[in-house]
Amino acid sequence: MNDIQEVRELFEGIPFVENPVYERIISDIGIQNYSIIDDFFPSETVSLLRQSLLYKHEEERFKKAAIGNRVNEIIVKSIRGDQILWIDETLSNTAERLFFEHINDLVTYLNKTCFMGILQKEFHYALYPKGTFYKRHIDTFQNDDRRKLSIVCYLNTEDWKPENGGELVLYLNDEGQETARVIYPFPGRIVIFESQIIEHEVKPVETERLSITGWLKTR
């Protein structure tokens, strides 16, 4: 507990309950700029979110992901091949409500304990068809640095195997030495990282790969 939390408890009578998972995320990000949490979402929630993604994809509501704007589609395809659908929290279905309950809880905790100043968020479903990938990139746009934390939540089925490809690779800088951290997109797992710092890529997928990706943003 930090000083501010103690003061809040003392004067406002608001009990502060430490959340060990959130504390781990905060500590990991402080030390290494990223955190991987398995079972962040219970398997029933993952299953509902997967069904929601597949239903909406079936309805052909997904769009080929773009990069920046006014970019030639062929160039885009050589950079990223995923299809996405933005999620409108105000129109959430049951699965999405469960998703945002967890995310909003985390955001409240980050703002309260680390003064992160997260005021906005944006999330989209992503589907990578077989053979697609997302080349090495960083998640912030030129002249817009509001994205602070990137969050990726994997919605693949329980039988997802490393041979299915689609690894997320984080490129880390250890005192001038680059190392690659390979992360498999197992269901229920989330990866959180500093949007402005960590370059990363999604390796080609052998089997359709499902996820929700989003960003926690400052004003």
In DSSP terms, which residues pair with 37 in a beta bridge?
Answer: 190
Q: What is the 3-state secondary structure (H, E, C) of 59-104?
A: CCCCEECCCCCCCCHHHHHHHECCEEEECCHHHCCHHHHHHHHHHH
| Alpha carbons 193 and 105: distance in angstroms, whole number | 18
Q: Which does 25 bind (CB under 5 to 8 A by kind): Mn ion, ligand OGA, none?
A: none
Contact residue for ligand OGA among 211, 212, 216, 217 (CB under 6 A): 211
For residue 99, state whether it binds ligand OGA (rule: CB under 6 A): no
Q: Is the dihedral of CA 26, 92, 124, 50 positive or negative?
A: positive
Residue pair 122/218 in contact by the 8 Å Cβ criterion: no
CB of 59 to Mn ion, least distance (A): 25
Identify residues 119-148 at the interface with ligand OGA (CB under 6 A): 126, 134, 139
Q: Which does 127 bind (CB under 5 to 8 A by kind): ligand OGA, Mn ion, none?
A: none
For residue 118, state whether it binds ligand OGA (rule: CB under 6 A): no
Contact residue for Mn ion among 103, 139, 160, 166 (CB under 5 A): 139
Residue pair 26/1 in contact by the 8 Å Cβ criterion: no
Residue holding tokens 């030390």?
Answer: 31
For residue 168, state whether it binds ligand OGA (rule: CB under 6 A): yes
Three-state DSSP class for residue 18 = coil
Smallest Cα–Cα separation from 52: which of 137, 140, 121, 155? 155
Count the residues of the shown chain that bind Mn ion, applying the rule CB under 5 A: 1
Contact residue for ligand OGA among 202, 210, 212, 216 (CB under 6 A): 202
For residue 160, state whether it binds ligand OGA (rule: CB under 6 A): no
Determine the interface stretch with Mn ion among 27-35, 101-109, 120-128, 136-144 (rule: CB under 5 A).
136-144
Which residues contact Mn ion by CB under 5 A? 139
Which residues contact ligand OGA by CB under 6 A? 126, 134, 139, 152, 168, 200, 202, 211, 213
